[in-house]
Chain A
Amino acid sequence: MTKKQPIHQQMAHQVIRIQPTKGFSALGLAELWEYRDLLWFNILKNIKSKYRQMALGPLWIILQPVMNMVIFSFVFGKMAKLDDGGIPYPLLTFSALIPWTFFQNSCTFACNSLVTQMPVISKVYFPRMIIPLADALAWLVDFTVTFAVLLIVMVCYGIYPNLRILAIPLYLLLTLVTTMAVGLWTASLTVKFRDVRLVVQYGLRVFMYVTPVAYTAANLEKALPDGWEWLLKMNPLYWVIEGFRWALLGGANGPELFMVYPIILIIAMLISGAYMFRRTERTIVDLL
């Protein structure tokens, strides 16, 4: 008991005031940092529980993007014979599918996370933002594994990565920011309106086709009336996917000054999403 005294005294100054909040409250990032161990164990839990007691286990990580790669290469490469810009079609789609699959899975999970974690939320307090964050971050394991597979496939095709690969972490960061922006908004809305789940599910499917995942950006732009390309380019994932191709395979759109607009847009969305989330968090138990 005596040993712990200093900690107690140090904490005795802490005063929590519980009262109705009007409007928006602070983001509470310091508190989020206080609970970093919980975030870490939540990520571990998500990873460990996902593949336990499955016959193929981690093999499923690779299966999802590989299946999509095969389908896209067949439909768009072989049947529609779309221009591949000199890159083998499987590599063209696989390199795009790695950030896309991460985005898609993280968003779906983050969106549902508050509803599925209700039993915990209703019994104990912690910064709720940990839940969608842990759900999204757990998919980084899948990202890393599939990325390694991509590198192997590239070598099989005789393409070796150069120094541009160093840009990948920056593109990954942009993917994460986009994921969290969409995840926080949809998670807050799903609590109130359960249909948001379905909107996200169908929305992501549509979104994939306006993002150059299954074909090159040039092909997508050709399909639009002149002067409307900027709309495609306001999508941060457009730059992420083109950036992955540019960094690994070459030949796509690398970083451009125009990127600043979607980046500003998505950061604004992330911040507003975080405030929205904090607002929902306060009475989440009464709503679910």
Chain B
Amino acid sequence: MSDNDIAMRVEGLGKMYRLGREIPHATTLTGKLKNASKAPFQWLSEQMREPTEEETLWALKDVSFEIKRGEVVGFIGHNGAGKSTLLKILSRITEPTTGYAEIHGRIAALLEVGTGMHPELTGRENIYMNGTVLGMKKREIDSKFDEIVDFSGISKFLDTPVKRYSSGMRVRLGFAIAAHLEPEILVVDEVLAVGDADFQAKCLGKMQDVASGGRTVLFVSHNMDAIRTLCTRAVLLQAGELKVDGPSVAVVEKYHTALRDDVITKDSGIGDATRRRGSGCARISSVSVLNIEEEATTSFEQGEDVLIDLSFQIMKDISCLYVMIGLRSGRNGELITTSTRHAVSEKGLSEGQTGTARVRLPNPNLRPGDYPLYIGLANEKHKAFDVMDGLTAPLIISTSKTVHELGYDPTKACGYFDIESEMEACKRLD
């Protein structure tokens, strides 16, 4: 790869943070007085001391990659994996502790919508304020001013102080300004997480334009659908280290597996109810997703049947037990469908009993995409005992059919189900 094709080269990048050390609390009055007398200079001497091994945290450790011009790369990972730290270093907000990054060309980072806006200033004034903060010149903003106002749809409130705007208007204005940045390299954090579904769709559309316009984009998101549709390549970070770097579809699947390994094996203990909802009278103790050959997987071809095996334990006497499976949308996370409720037992169950159940989910109509699982145990009155919501890896439905065969583009938002339709009448237009 010649130097001209490279937009960014990152080599051995690391960032260390210093953690505080706990100072033992005195319990006696004399002890307290002693501590108080030492206090004024204690902080200072703590700061001057070289940190020991336990006091340091490597938020990012030896990360290396290269990004070619025009590539759209997604960065994924759990909270605390180091995504934000990486973006902060690449956007020059903070310096790395080790390694280096070389950036070829003008870079703009969008870590937040509407950075630097001042509530007392009007929309017009804030367009200039926010624009220059993001690195635009006044001349540039002048020439794009009308476009920005059009895109934001706030032309009527241009001379109203921003503090009187609704939060939605503020976000729209902020995004409109950011959307008119024209850097060669764009770094975008989870900015799409704000705003309503309409706004998010608009953002994704704009991102798609930018991406297809030949610009280099680095994109951090928890929205795996967005990562798969927008990015050709993805990088998975885990505990500050680069785990996988490759085609986005494969990396997203790895991420889901990592999520499952993390959550299910570690937290599937019946006692851990912190991430669950429900009364806790019954608890799911394990969940596995199988294909029709009874192999554990979460990837399915469109139309393939899905088997969900779960085992449960009764924690308190209950009068009956039902199980229900639901699917959420990977894009917006709303519950899009649930299965019928299945009676596991219509008789009373007593504390300590365990059991298993299998639910079969034929999916002839599900369109390609991610579907986080919602698994619930409840009584006959829909009172939930236990809900595992998005804690397991989502179902990933894919298809090998072409866009032409399907009649729609599976990488674009086109709904979740195939439904049958027929042409009833047709008139020739001549």
The chain A residues found within 8 Å of chain B, CB to CB, are 1, 4, 8, 11-12, 14-21, 35, 37-38, 40-42, 44-45, 48-49, 52-53, 119-126, 192, 282-286
Contact = CB atoms under 8 A, between A and B. Distances in A.
B100 A16 contact: no
A37 B106 CA distance: 17
B111 A123 contact: yes
B109 interface: yes
A283 B182 contact: no
Interface in B70-125: 88-107, 109, 111-112, 115-116, 118, 120-121, 125
Interface in B120-175: 120-121, 125, 128-129, 132-138, 161
A125 B92 contact: yes
Contact of B115 (A21, A123, A285): A123
A123 B93 contact: yes
B137 A48 contact: no
19 contacts: A12-B105, A12-B184, A18-B102, A18-B103, A19-B100, A19-B101, A40-B132, A41-B128, A45-B125, A48-B120, A120-B115, A124-B111, A125-B92, A126-B135, A282-B94, A285-B93, A285-B94, A286-B17, A286-B94
Contact of A4 (B90, B95, B182): B182
Contacts, number: 108
A45 to B, nearest CB: 5
- Enumerate the 5 nearest inter-chain pairs by beta-carbon distance, A residue then B residue, closest first: A19-B100, A125-B92, A38-B132, A49-B120, A18-B101
Given A11-B106, A18-B95, A282-B94, A120 B100 contact: no
Given A41-B138, A124-B93, A124-B116, 18 more contacts: A4-B182, A11-B105, A16-B92, A17-B103, A18-B100, A19-B95, A19-B100, A35-B135, A40-B138, A44-B125, A45-B121, A49-B121, A120-B116, A123-B112, A124-B134, A282-B95, A285-B88, A285-B94
A54 to B, nearest CB: 11
Contacts of B106: 11, 14
Nearest to B136: A37
B213 interface: yes
A18 B184 CA distance: 17
Contact of A12 (B47, B94, B104): B104
Contacts of A8: 184
B120 A20 contact: no
A37 B132 contact: yes
A45 B102 CA distance: 34
A50 to B, nearest CB: 9
Nearest to A124: B115
B375 to A, nearest CB: 38
A124 B133 contact: yes
A112 to B, nearest CB: 16
A11 B132 CA distance: 18
B99 A19 contact: yes
A49 B118 contact: yes
Interface in B35-93: 47, 88-93
B247 to A, nearest CB: 27
A125 B91 contact: yes
A280 to B, nearest CB: 12
A38 B100 contact: no
A42 to B, nearest CB: 8
Contacts of A45: 118, 121, 125, 129
Contacts of B95: 18-21, 282-283
A43 to B, nearest CB: 11
Contact of A124 (B109, B120, B128, B182): B109
A17 B100 contact: yes
Nearest to A50: B120
A119 B133 CA distance: 12
A17 B101 CA distance: 6
B412 to A, nearest CB: 23
Contacts of B99: 19
Contacts of A4: 182
B212 to A, nearest CB: 12
Contacts of A119: 115
A188 B138 CA distance: 29
Given A41-B129, A286-B17, A122 B102 contact: no
A4 B215 CA distance: 13
A48 B121 contact: yes
B99 to A, nearest CB: 7
Contact of A37 (B47, B115, B137): B137
Nearest to B10: A18
A262 to B, nearest CB: 31
A12 B138 CA distance: 21
A53 B93 CA distance: 33
B133 A38 contact: yes
Nearest to B161: A52
A39 to B, nearest CB: 9
A125 B105 contact: no
Nearest to A286: B94
Contact of A20 (B47, B98, B137, B184): B98
A16 B98 contact: no
Which of the listed residues A20, A35, A41 has the most CB atoms from chain B within 10 Å of its own CB?
A41
A280 B135 CA distance: 22
Given A4-B182, A123-B111, A37 B138 contact: yes
Contacts of A20: 95-98
Contact of B133 (A11, A49, A122, A126): A126
Contacts of B213: 1
Nearest to A44: B125
A51 to B, nearest CB: 10
Contact of A15 (B103, B109, B118): B103
A16 B112 CA distance: 22
Nearest to A37: B138
Contacts of B96: 18-20
A142 B92 CA distance: 35
B280 to A, nearest CB: 40
A40 B128 CA distance: 10
A124 B182 CA distance: 16
A17, A19, A48: which has the most chain B beta carbons within 10 Å?
A: A19
Contacts of A14: 104-106
